[in-house]
Copies of this chain bind each other. A is one copy, B any other.
Amino acid sequence: MKTRDRILHVSLLLFNEEGEAQQTAVDISNALGISPGNLYYHFKGKDAIIRALFDAFEEEMRVILRGSRGSVTSIEDNWVYIYIILEEIYDFRFFYRNLGVLLKRYPDLAVRFRALVAEQRMTILGLLDDLSKAGVISIDPRLRDALTEQIMLALTFWLEADALNRQEHDGADLIHRTVFQVMCLIVPYMGETGFDALSRMIDHYERATG
């Protein structure tokens, strides 16, 4: 593995586990067993590392978002799809843990992040449209936008909300609970079948978390 890739790999690990703000360029080079000078040979600094990590995240997320076009037509599909999005976010969770600080510090990333969020919003809207057309949900158009915003809120701040509620966390369980939380937002619009779907979801949730 080339040093450049090792730097990215270890940085992502450190940022996710210990928090981005806490790690200095020297910390990263120590973790890698290389000198700070060497680190600066490969990346101009922590900024460049973060930008490179964002490149990777952005590309992966765009692939996921574009993969939804017309392929999510049942509530089960929806469940799985939300799951996939959350897992991708979890892989780069350090971004979402300090969103405010990071976007203030890197205005260029803020622009790109906003564009990504916009595409995410369009995807969620499309998802709700597909579910409507398939007759799975029925929602007043005035409430549809509000629901979309709520789902966006959940998808964006689930990690921060969890950090607020507990000190430690179990990633798999947290993702699971968050999918459930998002699905609960949709249940009221499923009419009579909503309660059945909810029951099935709870079963599914209980089974997976023991």
Partner-B contacts on A (CB < 8 A): 19, 21-22, 97-101, 103-104, 113-114, 117, 140, 142-143, 146-147, 149-150, 152-154, 156-157, 160-161, 163-165, 180-181, 184-185, 187-189, 195, 198, 202
| Contacting residue for A195 out of B100, B101, B140, B165, CB 8 A | B140
Secondary structure dominating the interface of A: helix
Q: A157-B160, A161-B156, A164-B156 are in contact. Are A143 and B103 (CB under 8 A)?
A: no
Which residue of chain B has its CB nearest to the CB of A185?
B150
Q: Cβ of B104 and Cβ of A143 under 8 Å apart?
A: no
Asked if residues A187 and B143 are in contact (CB atoms below 8 Å), the reply is yes
- Given A104-B19, A114-B164, A163-B100, residue A198 in contact with residue B153 (CB < 8 A): no
